[in-house]
Amino acid sequence: MPFENEHSARLIEPEKFQQDTFKRQEVDEGIDIIIGKLEGEDAMTTQSYRFKSDKFTAELARKWMQGNNIDYILFEEAKEKQSPTEDNKIYMMPIIGVLGEQFTVQDLLIHLNKAKDCGIIKLLIDSPGGYVDKGEKMVNELNKSGKIIHATNIGDVCSMAVDLFMTATVRTFNPTKGAFLIHNPWGGQEGEAKDFEDAAQELRDIEDRMAKKLSKQLNVDVNIIKGFMNENTPLTKDQIKELGFAKIIGETKIKAVAYFKSKNNNMSEIKLNEEQSKQLSGLETKMSSFGKLLDKIFGQVKAKALVKQDVNGTELDFGDEVQTEEQIAIGVKATVDGQPAVGDYILEDGRTLVFEAGELIDIKQPEDDEMEALKKELEALKVENEALKAEKETMDKATEALKAENESAISKLEEVNAKTESIKTEFVAFKSQFTEFKAQVNTPSSDDKEEHKSGFTYKGIKN
């Protein structure tokens, strides 16, 4: 497979080498060699030569090899770096705040217009949810866009924001940045009893529609989804992964294996004295790991099997021979879900690992300008998010102040009403001292009975 921006002259097939021994060395300006240890040997041997395409043409590289009497079995010309196309350009779309308020349908449409030359849109979500009708319009616009949708979180993904999150074909979630919540929709209603009955039925319809939609998207029984919605509790990272909402990212996983290995690799030949035997017997009841047990006695523990995640949450398992970041080099092998890794995997630090048939054949360093632009954009999003949170806190404080003021006004009104009733009582008592007047029930005349059937009226005085 041709490498990007460098010609390759292969001297020996890489399969003949110990895969964890490959290293890269510069031998001249624009020329590197890949070296490693052949199977069964301790000395380093050159496996291939690499020529930078900005320093050497393919013809000059071949002449250099010939002039230095170096034979090769395969020569591959460089594959020039391609400029971004509409298919592989990514547009970052921040979705921050309440849907329908801080982030509106109009905001979404503006972003879609900006992304017209990009094939992929990546949603960066930090939202507690929002209005159902507005959220459904946003989902419809994303689906109509014809773009490939990716989604991840930069904060919370809750309620209606989950619907936007689920429009993506590639979904990742970092639990260290926020919560993930599905629950039944809420509603506010004013009016007569029938209005409340109609609103309740509408809420039930929305609950059912949302549950069925998630059930279909996740291929999970609808009753399971409804159960989680009724709980109204943020999902754990294991639940998010198990139900299929997203891949969990943001965690560096290193598998640790503790073991003791004798010189001849035969555990049955380990000799223990009487005191060690007693220690071993006592520790077996206290330790679940046999490796930890032997480490306790012999002090020989070895951490192994480095596992790395790319930006999409895909796990690259480098096996027992790679234990540290520094050992990731050209020629090492890795698997994904038990299968040989194939293609490009972008790490969080911007590096791209290129695999062919499970073998690491190239490590691409990120372009400085691209990384700088992405960092600036993320920093801007963080600043904007903090500003929105501050604005929300100010609004919450103002709301609390209005509530307090309203409660005070109601309290004063009640005091006035109480005083008014007291004055009325005193007046009636005072008046009864001078008249035979007795209070009577004010019933309407027979002519007015038809007009006052309901008993719930509020009319003005006619002139």
C-alpha separations of 284 from 296, 299, 301 in Å: 11, 16, 17
Angle CA 60–64–67, to nearest 5: 130
Q: Which fold has domain 90-249?
A: 2-enoyl-CoA Hydratase; Chain A, domain 1 (3.90.226)
DSSP string, 196-259: HHHHHHHHHHHHHHHHHHHHHHHT--HHHHHHHHHHT-PPPHHHHHHHTS-EE-S--EEEEE--
Going by C-alpha positions, the residue among 250, 222, 224 that lies closest to residue 237 is 250
Strands 253-257 and 302-309: antiparallel
User: pLDDT of the chain along its 463 residues, tens only?
Assistant: 678 789 999 999 998 999 888 899 998 989 999 999 999 999 999 999 999 998 899 999 999 999 999 999 999 998 765 555 555 689 999 999 999 999 999 999 999 999 988 989 999 999 998 888 899 999 999 999 888 999 999 999 999 999 999 999 999 999 999 999 998 776 555 556 666 666 667 778 888 888 899 999 999 999 999 999 888 899 999 999 999 999 999 764 433 333 333 344 443 334 455 555 555 555 455 444 444 444 444 444 344 567 888 877 788 888 877 778 778 888 889 898 888 999 888 887 778 889 988 899 988 877 666 666 666 776 777 787 788 888 888 888 887 888 888 788 788 878 877 877 878 777 666 666 654 444 443 444 445 444 444 343 333 333 4
Q: Compute how many other C-beta atoms are within 10 angstroms of the C-beta atom of residue 341.
A: 24
* β-strand partners of 149: 121
Phi, psi of 235 (to 5 degrees): -75, 150
CA 252 – CA 420 distance, rounded (Å):
72
Structure tokens at 14: 């890489």
Q: Which amino acid is at 423?
A: I
The 3-state DSSP class for residue 439 equals: coil
* pLDDT computed for residue 102 by the predictor: 93
Angle CA 49–52–53, to nearest 5: 120
* pLDDT computed for residue 81 by the predictor: 56
Residue whose token pair is 């097939």: 13
Q: Compute how many other C-beta atoms are within 10 angstroms of the C-beta atom of residue 394.
A: 10
* β-strand partners of 180: 157
CA 46 – CA 12 distance, rounded (Å):
8
Q: Return the domain boundaries, the chain.
A: 6-76, 90-249, 253-364, 378-439
- E-only strand ranges, 69-174: 74-76, 90-96, 120-127, 148-158, 170-173
End-to-end alpha carbon distance in the chain = 97
Contact call for residues 47 and 10 (beta carbons, < 8 A): yes
- b/e map 83-105, b = 16+ CB within 10 Å: eeeeeeeebbbbbbbbbbebbbb
CA 265 – CA 254 distance, rounded (Å):
25
CA 408 – CA 435 distance, rounded (Å):
41
Contact call for residues 184 and 205 (beta carbons, < 8 A): no
CA 181 – CA 201 distance, rounded (Å):
23
Sheet containing 315-317: which strands, arranged edge to edge? 253-257, 302-309, 315-317, 335-336, 339-340
Contact call for residues 91 and 114 (beta carbons, < 8 A): yes
The 3-state DSSP class for residue 90 equals: strand
Residue whose token pair is 């090492």: 332
CA 308 – CA 25 distance, rounded (Å):
25
Contact call for residues 315 and 307 (beta carbons, < 8 A): yes
CA 343 – CA 207 distance, rounded (Å):
41
Contact call for residues 12 and 47 (beta carbons, < 8 A): yes
* pLDDT computed for residue 281 by the predictor: 58
Residues 6 or more apart in contact with residue 74 via CB below 8 angstroms? 8, 9, 10
Strands 315-317 and 23-28: unpaired
Contact call for residues 447 and 455 (beta carbons, < 8 A): no
